[in-house]
Amino acid sequence: MLRKEELQLLETYIKKRSLRFAEPAILSEILDHFACKVEELQAEHPGIELEEAMLRAHRSFGIRGFGPLADVAENSVYLRYRKYAFAEIRQLLLSPHMLYILSAGAFCHLLLRICSGKLPYNDLLCALDIPLLVYAVSLWIVRAYRLKTQKKHRLEFQMCQRCSPLGLAFNNTLIFLSFVCLAGITDTHFQLNLIILPVMVMFTLFSGIVELRLQKRALQDIASSEKMSAFVN
């Protein structure tokens, strides 16, 4: 059985292999398998130095080393946050907040109809698309802040974006396409955008709420894991 000091040496060895392995969720998975292999080698070769056992154990994982174990750990986190995402989407669809999102889409549609003959199309475009861009950029800033302040748990917040089917990266693509679609607008295109823009407004609001809720879950997971780690230590 490895002592606490020896486990810390194993952790240091793992972290030196790659910054990716320093993520707590990944480190825990690798350390568990690595420690078992080191103990197995120590049992087979009594008197072997810990450093030599670590080198042999590392080589036993093959060419990619700890890579496959890191992939398993990342996939486990991904599956957990994908489950969270489906739960949050279902909950949001059934919550009163959905009424506000639908109301925003209806207001956008009504505004387009009222102002279509009173304002130039370019001004109308800016009036609707610029707030969407500001909203998307604000959410991006929140995500960047989370990643900066939670340097030891970046994986969880990366999964918040990846696991949400309405992620902000997809939103930004839709907003960019809306500018292309609305450039040089004609009456025919305008009728089409009476549907496209309200849907975009609802889509952007919905996706932002989903990702923020996932980030809240990530903070709860991080706090729980840190408490568990402190209790074990």
State residue 169's pLDDT score: 47
Does the pTM surpass 0.95? The reply is no
3-state helix, strand, coil in the chain (%, to 5): 85, 0, 15
Q: What is the pLDDT of residues 88-107, one digit of tens each?
A: 989 999 998 899 888 988 88
Position 135 pLDDT exceeds 80: no
Which of 51-65, 90-104, 150-164 shows the lowest mean pLDDT across its residues? 150-164
| CA dist., res. 216 & res. 57, Å (int) | 38
Position 183 pLDDT exceeds 50: no
Give the pLDDT mean for 71-88: 90
Dihedral sign from CA coordinates of 135, 139, 142, 148:
negative
Q: Residue ranges per domain, the chain?
A: 4-70, 96-232
Question: Residue 59's closest CA among 36, 43, 37?
Answer: 37
| CA dist., res. 139 & res. 146, Å (int) | 11
| CA dist., res. 185 & res. 192, Å (int) | 10
| CA dist., res. 69 & res. 27, Å (int) | 9
| CA dist., res. 232 & res. 28, Å (int) | 13
| CA dist., res. 13 & res. 22, Å (int) | 10
| CA dist., res. 85 & res. 101, Å (int) | 18
Which pLDDT band, with edges at 50, 70 and 90, does 171 fall under? very low
Long-range Cβ contacts of 53-60 (<8 Å, 24+ apart): 54/9, 54/10, 54/13, 58/13, 58/17, 58/34
Which of 37-51, 54-68, 110-124, 199-213 shows the lowest mean pLDDT across its residues? 110-124
